[in-house]
Amino acid sequence: MPNANLVPLENVRRWPRGIDSNSSLQSSSNISTEEQNDLKKEIQQTNNFQFTSGACTKCGNFGHLTWQCQQKKKTKNVYISSNSSKEEINSLLKTNENVHTNWSISDSCISLESQKESFNERIQKLEIEKDKMSKAFEQLLEKFNEQNSLQHPSSTFSSKEFVTFDDLENHPFIQQMKEKLKLLDQKTSDQQLILEQNLNFQKISLSSNKENKLNNFGIKQQKEENNVLNDQKIKEELETLKIENKKLKRKEEINNNELIKIREEYQKLTNELVASKNLVSLLELERTQIKQQFEKDIEKIQNDANHYKSENERISDLYDKQQVRSKSMGINISNLNRINRKLKEELNISNNKINQLQKQINKNSKNVNEQTDEKFKDFGGQVDIKLETNSELLEEQNDNKMRFVKIKNRINRIDCEYTCCENKCINSNISNGFCNSKNGFVCVFDVNNCCTKIKYYLTNNKRKENKWIRLFAQNSFSKGCCYGKGYSLYYFELTMIKEETNICYAGIGLYNTTANISTVNHIPNTNTNIFLCNDATINWQDFQKFSWEDGDVFGYGIVYPARSDHVTEPYVFFTKNGSKIGKEILLDKKDDVLCPFIGLLSCSAEINFGNDLNLKPFRYNLANNT
């Protein structure tokens, strides 16, 4: 039950000195007026609690002391005794909320009369508990007496065998009960003192509460009005802010959409710009290539003009020599005709003589005729032998001439072993393919249907490499396609094109398709390949090595002898810029089918197989090779 020293539950920060919240048996000391004033100050310093004095708004009694707890316009008046237990505090809160709950700022109280009644009821309960304890004590004494009488019925016994009253008083249980009784008495006395102090405190506070009540009521009304006005202003400002926020959100959405469109347009423009830059770079490359090609073509045309002049001079010299030869042959024929005429004249003379002799010698006519026939045969055989020797000389001169075997050819495949990478990215598309591993790669193009250009694209990644790539021709050189009489010549040329790198080299040779050899030295027991390198420090096995510069033309020729020539063996020769270089290499007679190939590393090349010699002639004069 609530008693004196009442404080709000939500504002309690400490228990009064001398009181334990968990034990009701501990004694409590009296609360002085100074402590009461300290509690008042602590409560007044808080935002939600207020100490008031005066008449109660519920009952109009001035003998009440109230503590107001303002929170969300709901007042809770809680009275806590310094000696109340937690269960009593909870029950008091429930009853107080049920009785004095109001959603406006108001006062609630518990009258002094109800406090007195509760105090008297508590005293009565304590007296009842005291009576119960005394009765229990008497019952215990009776039980002890009965036990002693049952255990010792004889009248003659020693004083030590009976339990005396002093022994019972000294018993620990009895001592505990006595202590409890003392504590109860002390508790009642303390509560009486606390009640008296509360009564005095309430009398003092009633006088001040009257004046504070009126002042606080007016202040509260003004505060409420101000709060209402402030709430209305805040609501209006919130509504305006919400409207402005919605407008800002709409503007932000519009701006975001415009930003997205601007970004898309910017991306499109950047892509177009990149594409245009790429086109410009490609056009510049093509322009430079066309310019270089034009300069090279001009040089070639000049060289060809000089070559044609020298060829014309040489042909005129040959024509003169041929005329001299034909004149000499004509002279020989005229001499033979003259000899024949002389023989005919002599024959006529001999015939006349024979006729004369026939007339003179009739008996020996048979013998004479036989002799004359033999002479005639001898003269005729000599004439036939001379004619046959002249025809054989003419045939031998025709057989000694070299004939160029023209086969339309081009580069159409890449070696599976020597390619851009392990994935063989460019083998399936040699014209427009590229390396997925970002290594260097080649592309093959046809130039005016007369030659084939192989472009080597260098890698831009430092971690990748430019590999050795080998390419093969579409058609092979075979001995069966040669002419029956005379020597047959297969020939093609390679124009070197340097790329922007320090180390670049190439190789040309033949691949023996019948032997199925895939190494660099394709023909067994022979070295028909040459190694073209611009770095003297590199040595590729034992192949013939020649240095080159940009625009140098290397030729590769194969000569097969006539079928009637069983002595001469086929051989290979090399040329550079129209002149023979290196050593001639003899081929095995088993090398019937040979496929030309070219290998490149970090350089490009243009191959001329002689598809159109009028448009793209060879630098080497094939007529010189007899």
User: Residue 489 contacts by C-beta under 8 Å, 6 or more apart in sequence?
Assistant: 402, 403, 404, 405, 557, 558, 559, 560, 622, 625
Residue 333, pLDDT > 70, answer: yes
* CB-count burial class (<10 Å; 0-12, 13-18, 19+) for 181: middle
Structure tokens at 268: 């499109």
Give, in order, the Cα–Cα distances in Å from 168 to each of 135, 143, 159, 178: 15, 11, 15, 12
- Quote the tokens at residue 301: 């045309």
Question: How is residue 529 annotated by DSSP?
Answer: -
pLDDT given for residue 540 in this prediction: 46
DSSP string for residues in 206-220: HHHHHHHHHHHHHHH
pLDDT of amino acid 100:
43
Question: How far is the C-alpha of 457 from the C-alpha of 435, rounded, in Å?
Answer: 10
pLDDT at 112: 55
Q: What is the pLDDT of residue 471?
A: 94
Q: Is the pLDDT of residue 340 over 70?
A: yes
Q: For the ranges 122-131, 279-288, 440-449, which has the lowest average pLDDT?
A: 122-131
* Percentage of the chain exceeding pLDDT 90: 15
Name the average pLDDT for the chain. 70
Mean pLDDT, rounded, for 543-572: 83
pTM above 0.85, yes or no: no
Residue 606 confidence class, pLDDT cut points 50, 70, 90: very high
Judge whether 557 and 625 are in contact, CB under 8 Å: yes
Tell me the C-alpha distance between 416 and 423, whole Å: 10
Fold observed for domain 403-624: Jelly Rolls (2.60.120)
Q: Which of 38, 31, 65, 61 is nearest to 51 (CA)?
A: 65
pLDDT at position 515 is: 40
Question: For position 414, what pLDDT does the model report?
Answer: 94
Highest mean pLDDT among 146-150, 335-339, 535-539: 335-339
Q: How sure is the predictor about 563, in pLDDT bands with cuts at 50, 70 and 90?
A: confident
Which one is predicted more confidently, 60 or 617?
A: 617
Residue, of 350 and 25, whose pLDDT is higher: 350
Given a cut of 50, is residue 428 above it in pLDDT? yes
pLDDT at 604: 93
Reported as type and span, the H/E element at residue 53 is: strand 49-53
Q: What Cα–Cα distance (Å) separates residue 22 from each residue in 25, 85, 126, 177?
A: 9, 7, 20, 20
For residue 424, name the pLDDT band (cuts at 50, 70, 90): very high
Query: What average pLDDT does this structure show over 148-153?
Result: 62
pLDDT at 577 over 70: yes
pLDDT of residue 419: 94
Q: What is the pLDDT of residue 410?
A: 92
Band of residue 76 on the pLDDT scale cut at 50, 70, 90: very low
Best mean pLDDT range from 100-109, 255-264, 345-354, 386-395? 255-264
Spans of all domains in the chain? 233-346, 403-624
Assigned token pair, 318: 């040959």
Output phi, psi for 97, to 5 deg: -70, -35
- Strand bridging mode 530-533 / 505-512: antiparallel
Q: Average pLDDT in the 557-562 region? A: 85
Q: Identify the pLDDT of residue 473.
A: 93
- Residues belonging to the chain: 626
Q: What is the pLDDT of residue 18?
A: 38
The confidence score (pLDDT) of residue 169 equals: 62
Q: How far apart are CA 49 and CA 270, in angstroms?
A: 70
pLDDT score for 195: 75
Which backbone phi and psi does 68 adopt, to 5 degrees?
-95, 135
Least confident range of 474-488, 493-507, 530-544, 561-575: 530-544
Mean pLDDT (whole number) for 161-187? 68
Res. 453 pLDDT band, cuts 50 70 90: very high
Per-residue HEC secondary structure of 569-621 comes to: CCEEEEEECCEEEEEEEECCCCCCEEEEEEEEECEEEEEECCCCCCCCCCCCC
The confidence band for 605, taking pLDDT boundaries of 50, 70 and 90, is: very high
Of residues 73 and 310, which shows the higher confidence score? 310
Tokens of 486: 């005379």
Give, in order, the Cα–Cα distances in Å from 82 to each of 29, 92, 193, 223.
10, 14, 12, 34
- Dist CA 142 CA 267 (whole Å): 109
Q: Which residue has the higher pLDDT, 445 or 83?
A: 445
- pLDDT band per the 50, 70, 90 thresholds, residue 283: confident
* pLDDT score of 435: 94
Dump pLDDT digits (tens) for 219-262. Answer: 877 788 888 888 888 888 888 888 988 888 888 889 888 889 88
Res 129 pLDDT > 60:
yes
Which pLDDT band holds residue 6 (cuts at 50, 70, 90)? very low
Beta partners for residue 491, in sequence order: 557
Residue 211 has pLDDT above 70, yes or no: no
Strand bridging mode 402-404 / 487-498: parallel
Q: Which residues contact 540 (CB under 8 A, 6 or more apart)?
A: 505, 507, 520, 531, 533
* Rounded distance between C-alpha atoms, residue 599 and residue 507, angstroms: 5
Give dist(CA 296, CA 494) in Å, integer. 14
- Tokens at 27, concatenated: 């004694």
- Kind and range of the H or E run holding 336: helix 172-360
Query: Cα(311)–Cα(623) distance, rounded to whole angstroms?
Result: 10
